[in-house]
Copies of this chain bind each other. A is one copy, B any other.
């Protein structure tokens, strides 16, 4: 039952019946992918959003020196993709990789159209997702502008409670915009002050 999580997720947010869900996902693409698999390459057009029904993905970019910068993590029940690349049919600036062995549901424009035909709430829901995404990245900008490394780390722990234990620390440092050494020190300081995790 590889679609169980996806079904639960969808039915939690829309009114789609079992029958309709089955019809919608009859030919849907689901893949079990190994750690380190790349789902999107820089320079490619992003044709899918990826629903993570199991595992963990990351979206990141490289600067001119080849240094990685993590933009977003996607654990279970998250959807990740490059919306502008998909919308404008343009080469993406980003990579998407699996951090753990994962199970991924591939969502493309066609699927969303099909779903919207079946249930009107569907389009609304995807619109909500879109606006949530905007809210999230705007908050991220504020944080990168205002907050210290320590504040950003605490916000991160709050947003992704279990990721400290699942993703390597250098990736998390990259997400926070600091070096792994600095993150290690921030954590040491917080431990002194009895901050857990």
Residue positions of A touching B, CB distance < 8 A: 61, 63, 67, 69, 71, 83-84, 87-88, 93, 127-128, 130-135, 137-142, 144-147, 174, 177
Contacts and interface: CB of A to CB of B under 8 A. Distances in A.
Contacts of A84: 131-132, 134-135, 138
5 contacts: A63-B147, A71-B142, A83-B131, A84-B135, A134-B137
A36 B127 CA distance: 34
Chain copies in the assembled complex: 2
Contacts of A131: 83-84, 87-88
Tell me the interface secondary structure of chain A in the complex: helix
B141 A137 contact: yes
A108 B101 CA distance: 46
Nearest to A147: B63
Q: Which of A71, A127, A146, A147 has the most CB of B within 10 A?
A: A146
